[in-house]
Amino acid sequence: MKDSTQKPRLNRVFYISASLIALLVLFGAIAPTTFASIAGSIFNFTTRSFGWFYLLSVFLFVLFLVFLAFSKYGKIRLGKDDDRPQYPFFTWIGMLFSAGFGVGLVFWGVAEPMSHFFTPPYADTEALTVEGARLAMAYSFFHWGVSQWSVFAIVGLIIAYFQFRRNADGLIST
C-alpha cells in the first residue's frame, strides 16, 4: 500500500536527459563555432568509422522482418488472443503511410534530393549533373524506402509486443 505522505519519485531518465540537452544547447549558444566544429568532427568520425555497421544493421533488419513475416512468429498477435483489429487492413496501412511519410515528406520530400543534388555526398561526384541527380535520388530512396521502414518496424514491433502482449508501458525506456 502506498503512503500518501511519501514524496513522488523523481523521473531520473527525464532529468538526466533534460540536463544533458540543456548543457549542449547552452554550449551551442555560448560558443557556436566551437560547438559546430566539435559536432562536425564527431559526425565525421561516426559516419566514417561506423557507416558500414549502420548499413549492415539495416540490411539485417530487413532480412529479420522478412523472416518474421513468413515464419510461425509472424502469426503472433500483437494483443490478447481474442482481440480483433480495430481497423481493416487497408485502413491501417493508409494510416501507417500517412503518419510515417506525411511528417517527413512535407519537409524533406523535395529538400533532401535537392540538397544531395547541389552538394553530392561523394567528393568525386560533380554537383548539378545527371550522375549527381541519380546519386541524390538513390540516397533519398534509401532514406525513404524499405530500409527506413524496417528500422521503424523493428522499434514499433518491440514496443507493440511489450505493450499489448506483455501489458508493459508503451515507452522506449520500458
Cell numbers placing 35: 560547438
Query: pLDDT (tens digit, 9 = 90+) per residue, 62-74?
Result: 999 999 999 999 8
What gap in Å lies between CA 99 and CA 91, rounded to an integer? Answer: 12
This prediction's pTM: 0.71
What gap in Å lies between CA 20 and CA 32, rounded to an integer? Answer: 17
Task: Give residue 81's pLDDT.
Answer: 81
What gap in Å lies between CA 93 and CA 87, rounded to an integer? Answer: 10
pLDDT beyond 60 at 1? no
